[in-house]
Amino acid sequence: MWRGMLQRELTLALRRPQDVLTSLIFFVIVVSLFPLGVSPQLSVLQGIAPGVIWVAALLANMLSLSRLFSDDFRDGTLEQMLIAPQPLSLVVFSKIFAHWLLSGVPLVLISPLLGMQLGLAGDPLKMLMLTLLLGTPVLSLIGAIGAALTLGVRGGGVLLSLLILPLYVPVLIFATGAVDAVGSGFDADAQVSLLAAFLVLALCFAPWAAAAALRIMME
Amino acid sequence: MSAEYATSAEKSLPWLKFANPRNFYPLAGKMIPWFTALAIIFTLIGLYISFFVAPTDYKQGESYRIMFIHVPAAWMSMFIYIVMACYAAIGLIWNIKLSDMMAGALAPTGAIFTFLALWTGAFWGRPTWGAYWVWDARLTSELILLFLYLGFISLRAAIDDPRRAARASGLLALVGVINVPIIYYSVKWWNTLHQGASVSVTESPKMASIMLTAMAVMAFAFWMYTIAVVLARVRTDILEREREAVWVVEEVSRTA
Amino acid sequence: MNWESFSDFIQMGKHGFYVWSSYGVTALFLAIEILLVRRKRQVVRKRLARLARLDTTLEK
């Protein structure tokens, strides 16, 4: 049953591949602007690389979030999902999972290229990928709550960023902290375990909260 | 809707009577002058202690007197968020309209205290560390708390249907209050990692008890002020949301 | 007593600007909040009273 739901989400999203590409291109462009704005020196860029890539990832993730529920909301599918026999949180979870597969995973895959552009290599680069792999699903999960709460609200896109960017702060801090730690020769076990803990916490809590938010906004 | 009859729960728990906006409105009206008076008295006492009783700090000179409003404002900003989330939870779980309204009425005051904590922090930081803004753990957390308040207020304002606005922002407040400690500790960890300037009030070997007294009195004054202003805001909310009720029509036509 | 004179009190040992900006802005913001709450209340009461009058005239 769950695979069917996931398949539906993926097929629908892949019918419009430009959506997936847009947020990926946005990610690449934002990161590429920093050397132009700061300095082309690799020593300078190395210092800010984890932060730049992570902030760009937060923004790219947020851009694609506003569409998480809005298409289904507009054509009435969401209303049917609300009264369907399957638990709503499971439907929401499959939507979030599809969102992560199509917006988070591409970021993870392209991040080594951008990391190298900014002078990261070796272990810090691997750590950057690992933090993105652990962190982007957390972003999608928390973001889904915001996307549900701003559903059908005027000015929803800007409002969404105001609601969820502050909640992304812990992920940003520990992810960039992990890359920095590895870069200066320490191990980053603590940060990685905390990111994993955030992921577990968000997995338990966010689909349920997003489903509750959807119920509030649709009742 | 339920303005005209007492439910069975109200009979067994007399306090629940005041969860009904109709009963709460006159009660709040009677309470506001008392809390206003208390706020004024405690402000005067607090200001007197802050400026005339508390001695000059041997290290910071007179600028440390900013602490007497900075610290209480910071306390209030966090405390109000927690109270707001509690009201939001009660409103969501038991579907109590008045509780939703209280959560919404607390938010602007909480945001103001958060802003004041930041502002006074900046003006305390300039003479003490030579910069208006340092990325200290507390100031940074206050900044994020201000963003959380602004998100709550904006979401509430953006949704037209008042009931939906209250429930949606209530859920947001709950998500926020779970995140506040996580945000606070991650910012603290980030701060020690980067060895930023640390603003510590408790650092001084023994904070004179007179300073603690001044801060406590000012915090109490702020608390009384908050109750008075929130009750006044809730009363207006009640009138607006119950405008169909007969008693509201009578109330507004009586003195207009 | 901490202060020799009134100007001494205003100067706050060269930190007068910082101390008084903090206290001043706090007082200003709380005063503005009170004013806004009051004005909102008056506006809402007036509007609801007008609505009520309108209703009674329509019923007649």
Average pLDDT on B235-249 reads: 86
Is A81 strand, coil or helix? helix
Q: How many domains does chain A have?
A: 1
Average pLDDT on B205-230 reads: 86
CB atoms within 10 A of CB A211: 22
Which range (A38-42, A116-120, B198-202) has the least confidence? B198-202
pLDDT of residue B10: 56
B205: pLDDT confidence band, cut at 50, 70 and 90?
Answer: very low
| C2 or A66, greater pLDDT | A66
Nearest to A125 by CA among A40, A34, A47, A50: A50
pLDDT of residue C58: 79
Minimal C-alpha gap between B68 and chain C (Å) = 10
| B60 or B118, greater pLDDT | B118
| B221 or B58, greater pLDDT | B221
Ramachandran region, residue B117 (left: φ > 0; alpha: ψ -120 to 50; beta: rest): alpha
Average pLDDT on B220-230 reads: 96
pLDDT of residue B58: 67
| A108 or C3, greater pLDDT | A108
Owning domain of residue A26: 2-218
Residue B196 clears pLDDT 60, i.e. is over it = no
Average pLDDT on B206-222 reads: 84
**Bridge partners (DSSP) listed for residue B57:** B61
C chain contacts of residue B65, beta-carbon cutoff 8 Å: 12, 19
Q: Are A31 and A49 in contact (CB under 8 A)?
A: no
Q: Which of B148, B158, B164 is facing A166, going by the closest CB pair?
A: B148
| B63 or B6, greater pLDDT | B63
CA torsion through residues A135, B114, B87, A218, sign: negative
B22: pLDDT confidence band, cut at 50, 70 and 90?
Answer: confident
Residue A150 clears pLDDT 70, i.e. is over it = yes
| Cα gap C24→B123, rounded to integer Å | 11
Chains contacting chain B through 3 or more C-beta pairs under 8 A: A, C
State both tokens at C27.
Answer: 């007082």
Q: Model confidence over B48-68: pLDDT tens digits?
A: 988 888 777 766 777 788 888
* Residue from C7, C9, C19 to probe the interface with B (highest B Cβ count within 10 Å): C19
